[in-house]
Chains A and B, each alone.
Chain A
């Protein structure tokens, strides 16, 4: 361990702002693209699900109509 205390670790020898800005920006951007990819996946699956449900409803309505 290069630092004696937690506050020293956060201070980064006076460069804390730049170091944490870099790591923070990196984490935010990567998490952002990860979460958005995950959400798109769920959305596509939901779309397919509702399409299947819709077709089933139409089929049922047609059968009842006959």
Chain B
């Protein structure tokens, strides 16, 4: 039943799939970011309390949500790599980690820049902020572990184990605002009784989340292609790709 999936475990096929998917994500990312940033910065109404400072939400929330989403997908690919011994999944873990780290850093920086005018401080050791910082360190740990081993097989296994163990942090981040009494506000969009945000702000936010996700997908696919090429550079198909010129993107 799952036989149709098997060819995708081959490096060459996976490389081609990356090439096929990338333009679609790229188009949505570019259009979405232009529309989302313009709408968020210039057309969405100012908040009645926070005025124009709340416009940071249009990058803070997408980066925060997606840094957690990227970590979850990294943990899932790590699980696949460990259980079914699929090397492309291992390469995907290595491709996602730097992108996730960058996005987690964006979430922390934009949070600090929002915290300063609203809370009066760049940083507090609040539950939400601390668990997000741990998420950034987990990403950096996965990258560092991979580069610490000379043998890439052992390096991949070590990173996969860290990626899987670290996933317990994701639900902790999500519930941190409920479990502990924190300075960070609770969830606004993902509430069971509907969003507590007006649609004039919700729509540009959703567009920004979608665009941000697509941009991350583009960068992850680029990095996955690089990882595949690096591991397979002595194989004939890579040589054909380089010398053939036709498919050499």
Interface residues of A (CB under 8 A from B): 1-3, 9, 12-15, 18-19, 21-23, 25-26, 29-30, 32-34, 37-38, 40-41, 44-45, 47-49, 51-52
Q: Which chain A residue lies CB-closest to B98?
A: A33
Determine the chain A residues whose CB is within 8 A of the CB of B223 once the complex forms: 37, 40
Q: A66 to nearest B CB, angstroms?
A: 25
Determine the chain B residues whose CB is within 8 A of the CB of A34 once the complex forms: 218-219, 222
Would A44 and B106 count as touching, CB distance under 8 A? Answer: no
**Cα separation A25 to B110 with both chains bound (whole Å):** 8
Q: B18 to nearest A CB, angstroms?
A: 11
Q: A27 to nearest B CB, angstroms?
A: 9
Would A1 and B42 count as touching, CB distance under 8 A? Answer: yes
Most buried by B among A9, A18, A22, A40: A22
Would B42 and A26 count as touching, CB distance under 8 A? Answer: no
B46 part of interface (Cβ distance < 8 Å): yes
**Cα separation A21 to B113 with both chains bound (whole Å):** 7
Determine the chain B residues whose CB is within 8 A of the CB of A30 once the complex forms: 102, 106, 215, 219
Determine the chain A residues whose CB is within 8 A of the CB of B98 once the complex forms: 33
- In the complex, number of A-B residue pairs with CB atoms less than 8 Å apart: 103
Determine the chain A residues whose CB is within 8 A of the CB of B230 once the complex forms: 44
Q: B51 to nearest A CB, angstroms?
A: 5
Tier of interface size on chain B? 35 or more
B109 part of interface (Cβ distance < 8 Å): yes
B248 part of interface (Cβ distance < 8 Å): yes
Q: Which chain B residue lies CB-closest to A39?
A: B226
Give per-residue flags for B184-228: 1 if the beta carbon is below 8 A from chain A beta carbons, else 0: 000000000000000000000000000000010011001101100
Interface residues of B (CB under 8 A from A): 37, 41-46, 51-53, 55-56, 59-60, 63, 98-99, 102, 105-106, 109-110, 113-114, 116-117, 215, 218-219, 222-223, 225-226, 229-230, 233, 238-239, 242-243, 248
Determine the chain B residues whose CB is within 8 A of the CB of A1 once the complex forms: 42-43
Given contacts A33-B102, A37-B222, A44-B229, contact A23 B59 (CB under 8 A): yes
Q: Which chain A residue lies CB-closest to B101?
A: A33
Would B222 and A18 count as touching, CB distance under 8 A? Answer: no
Would A25 and B42 count as touching, CB distance under 8 A? Answer: no
Would A48 and B43 count as touching, CB distance under 8 A? Answer: no
Across the A-B interface, the 9 shortest Cβ-Cβ residue pairs: A15-B53, A13-B52, A22-B110, A12-B52, A37-B222, A22-B113, A22-B56, A18-B113, A48-B242
